[in-house]
Structure 1
Amino acid sequence: MVLVTKYPPIPRLSIVVPVGCDAAAFEATLVSVLENQPDGSEVIVCHDGDYDDPFSLAGEVRFVTAASNDLVDAVSAGATAAHGRFVHVLADGLRATDGWADSALEKFEHHDAGVVAPVIRSGLDQVILGAGWHDSADRLCKANASGKRKVSAGRKNIGAYLTASFWRRDLLRSLGKSCDLRDELEACYAYEWMSRDAGWRCVLADESNVISDHDSINGDESSWSRGTRLRAIRSSFQTGGWSKACKASMIATIANGFRPSMFAESIGQVFAPLSEASITKSLRPQDVVASDDGGAAMIHRMPERSFDVSRRAA
């Protein structure tokens, strides 16, 4: 008798669902994923060690322990544990819809598509809260929110929100190891700039819809710190300094002339040079897998089997 060892099929997609601070929101997100789970996919739940699986889902999902319940740590742990060629992150408060992953995965047929942004819609009236984001004169990391039910014309350079995004697995892994920023919005912004620097681009999947239980994108709140920190991150990849920061701040202030709530964020960009040095030290774009180096290799590489779920992802 010949014994043949059978290995489970390697999934094409790994869906990472982090456990956040809101247990009810996390459960709603996980249920939506399981109800609409695509064929050839696995579901990974990332938590800080305190989640005890009250619904006995160990047979349907894989549980991975992250360094903390911060989104950035959870995503990093999920990407390291993922067996799929592609990784989808869906954070709590967001819900999957029927077929939402199919059209997003099709976008990876473009060899330089490293990340794909789905359309985030309000659960109340289906209007678009964010079809990715872009940088504009009045604001950095500005949501592509049309306030309509149809996606507006695409933009050349967009980014994806980390809370709802599709990635090439090896790209996401390398970003997690190359960025020390732990704030969710800052990491989201830095990931996009590092990806561009490595030759990748973000693509919008206009037929991939996720539903938000909130009426705004997380991290979209205006603040002085938001303007300062995002401008400092951008300056790490473009010309920085006081002159550039002052000019950007002045333009943003004028552009937001009829929106007083945005003044603090606009003026905050002036002080970006104070944070540029520390932020630059937190980013190692040279360690991000490049589109011309990793594109073919990451598709055919066998999954690692040595991941210890009791420890933080390396």
Structure 2
Amino acid sequence: MTNSNNFGIVISFFGLWITTYFSIEYQQTIGFIIIFLFGILHGSNDLLLISKINQRETTSIGKKILLYYIIFVFFGIVLFYSLPKIALLLFLIVSAYHFGEQHWNILNKEETSKTIIGFQTTYGLFILSLLFNFHQEEVRKIIGQIINAPITSVNFTYCLIFVGVLLFLNGFLLVRKNPSFSKEIMVNIVYLILFGIIFRNANLIWAFAIYFIVWHSLPSIKEQICFLYGNYSIKNFVRYFKAAFVYWFLSLIGILFLYLLFKDQEIFKALFFSFLAAITFPHALVIMKMQNINKNNSEDIK
């Protein structure tokens, strides 16, 4: 168990403690604030990451990555507007893999395989299903607003069980192939129990914020800083923040504009998650490229 994970456990229990002293409205407000501050920040340096990747690759490949990034942003926006059901499905799959890749990046030190990708994706889907299971009515309402259709027949408990079986089968395959995975099984079972406790007791937005910030965004920021500047330090964090500030600030302005327009309407949550989806598609692609470079570097050292 790393120091980062110890920090994550402490902060998670602090977040759980907040649920006993703050109303649902305050939990939701605090959740949105920290997502705006740190969640958006962790994806605001994608262009700098592309520039760093470009130094290690040919110029043509670097330009293609930048072009793909811009295309994906517009693709996400157009897709959510024209084909919201397909867009939502893609968003869930991409987000699931992105979460699983970050949480299980230790597996990237081994040879990449379909089994690892499958496990990382099903792990992320399990996290999302676990969250949805404890907030079924609210999730149905948000999804219904995104796709413009009711989904009252969906039972997220069955989804959780189905994804759980897939996760177990993928995990069983990895136990036999990947020694790094075998060493991490028990501690990650503890993490899943912790996530379940938080998701059950916290408001949907606050529960999502705890996981998204503490267990995804902050570790991702640290990893990005190490990739960009060689190591993590306060000085390098300041450099990272300065480089991301313009894009981060513009994103905040955009979200603030949506909030002022729709703050008194339930549709704001749907718009908020749609906004996250539009920027998640290209961000996940950039991080995947960064992870592959880190994996190749670790193999070269060996």
TM-score tier by shorter-chain length is under 0.3
Q: Structure 2 length normalisation: TM-score?
A: 0.28
Q: Structure 1 length normalisation: TM-score?
A: 0.27
Write 1 or 2 for the structure with the bigger share of strand: 1
Write 1 or 2 for the structure with the bigger share of helix: 2
- Considering Cα pairs closer than 8 Å and 6+ residues apart, tell me whether 1 or 2 has the greater RCO: 2
